[in-house]
Structure 1
């Protein structure tokens, strides 16, 4: 499969990208690097125009089957309106990544094209044999062979804790997953690029956010009616979101309390997000 490496958000060191590309090539893929993928413009991998042009070029290039982001950070919100929705819809090429790439997953979802919430270059280079990476390889190989992602793919990340979480049975249903990084989702609310949440399973994760900020973003979902629209809420890693002694309840208990009026299953501890255990989830 022909994979184009793009940097839609933060800048990244070339050695990290090279190590990740080496892993993808070891899987038998033809991997090329976008023109501006290693650029540096402050904290960004080039100007918004440069980053957007790399994605547009990859979508138009008949020799590209799939786009893979180098890293998150911040920057995807700057380029959402520079990527033609019709082009995403017509190209039907998935994009792979997570964290800030959540914004692009939402754009792909709006275009009706599935994408993959999964590790990026740093993980691929540093953890080439980790079980998360092996699972990701299986999912990508299935896509290469069949032109679509595998059914029941979203059960992969719960296989080690399903017995402890009987409510996870809902994941056995063929229901679309939407979501990603909670902070990015909060930024998408009220824009034309927010997800269609109706009837979906919402998954969220975050990093380095205070519990009261997590509370605020979850309350936003509640007040918008999102938690009344979705069929379930899946919570991944909240890395570095340390407990706050001034918050009256623990983070997980607070999330359950916020979601409780909706009556939906709330599944905690999914291996999704900013940890080595970051299993792929097909969005859409």
Structure 2
């Protein structure tokens, strides 16, 4: 894997909006947060535009990403926000150029399709972590205070060459096991909806020998069932070494018309759909649409021990 160089305080980082738009106040707040991290944010054009449910037309959003990787003065790229739109630009990115210019690239949610594409087509480590407008800091009178768990995880991943090592959930949250066993492999994945959206394309998730991380937000459980079944039918749980389930924020059981009718629980869906593949499975990994939130170096080597509920990141995402 091409590991991007760690960031240093004062480095220029591009802020791009490859998905949906947001309001000007949020853009300004995001810029302030990144300055408070010790970085020098360069706000690219798509941060200030909107085009329906997107931040800009496909060509403009792809251009911001290509330009930010091509610019030697830019040392990292942080997405403004998620929403929707990245699958539309996958065939507009210059993967050969990006592969030659590995940089810290960070975001989550809709950014998942870019993580998978960069991991697989550019052999580049990327970072599933906070975006510029994410709720990982509070601003009062232009003073920024960071939530410590999220800040510490972010800093260790992008500002040092140290591997994360043993993963620790936020206080009061315990990892759980759905299937015992041990496994090793490169970690991949992200948002479930985005992982399913590229099935059948050249950008679909290659799960062979990998540890798959999955999270979701705002989908009823029966839709989680549908999407996990799609991954199952596509052979992803057969091919992988293990599965890590992150947070499923506001993913609730939907009431049915018949008396007392409800969706299955998330646990029942996982037990029905993924557990039968007899791969080690750990759940309640507190990553996804939640804060505190860890930063995950996607494309790095991970050891998973589902007997003892341990996840160990064996190598740094930067060099």
Whether TM-score is above 0.5 comes out as: yes
Answer yes or no: is 1:276 the counterpart of 2:291: yes
Most deviating of 6-15 and 28-37: 28-37
Question: Partner residue of 1:250?
Answer: 265
Answer yes or no: is 1:41 the counterpart of 2:28: no
- Structure 1 unaligned residues grouped into runs of 5+: none
Q: 2:178–2:282: 8 Å Cα contact kept in structure 1?
A: no
The TM-score normalised by the length of structure 2 is 0.80
**Higher RCO (CA-CA < 8 Å; seq separation 6+):** 2
Answer yes or no: is 1:139 the counterpart of 2:157: yes
Q: 2:70–2:98: 8 Å Cα contact kept in structure 1?
A: no
- Structure 2 unaligned residues grouped into runs of 5+: 1-10, 140-144, 256-260, 300-319
Q: 114, 121, 126: which is aligned to 1:115?
A: 126
Q: 1:206–1:238: 8 Å Cα contact kept in structure 2?
A: yes
Q: 1:20–1:125: 8 Å Cα contact kept in structure 2?
A: no
Question: Partner residue of 2:233?
Answer: 223
Please state which structure has a larger fraction of its residues in helix. 1
CA distance in 1 between counterparts of 2:206 and 2:75 reads 26
CA distance in 1 between counterparts of 2:60 and 2:264 reads 45
Aligned to 1:37, the other structure's residue is in SS state helix
Question: Partner residue of 1:236?
Answer: 246
Answer yes or no: is 1:98 the counterpart of 2:108: yes
CA distance in 1 between counterparts of 2:44 and 2:166 reads 29
Q: Please report how far the alpha carbon of residue 176 of structure 1 lies from its aligned counterpart in structure 2 after TM superposition.
A: 1.3
Question: Partner residue of 2:280?
Answer: 265
- Greater Cα radius of gyration, structure 1 or 2: 2
Quickly say closer, same or farther: Cα 1:66–1:247, change in 2 above 3 A: same
Q: Number of aligned residue pairs: give it.
A: 276
Question: Partner residue of 2:310?
Answer: none
Q: 4, 8, 25: which is aligned to 1:15?
A: 25
Matches within 5 A, 1:59-208: 59-110=69-120, 111-122=122-133, 123-126=135-138, 128-130=145-147, 131-142=149-160, 146=161, 150-152=162-164, 155-157=167-169, 161=173, 165=177, 170=182, 173=184, 175-208=185-218
Quickly say closer, same or farther: Cα 1:158–1:195, change in 2 above 3 A: farther
Aligned to 1:126, the other structure's residue is in SS state strand
Q: Please report how far the alpha carbon of residue 204 of structure 1 lies from its aligned counterpart in structure 2 after TM superposition.
A: 0.7
The TM-score normalised by the length of structure 1 is 0.89
Q: Please report how far the alpha carbon of residue 195 of structure 1 lies from its aligned counterpart in structure 2 after TM superposition.
A: 2.2
Q: 1:19–1:124: 8 Å Cα contact kept in structure 2?
A: no
Most deviating of 118-127 and 205-214: 118-127
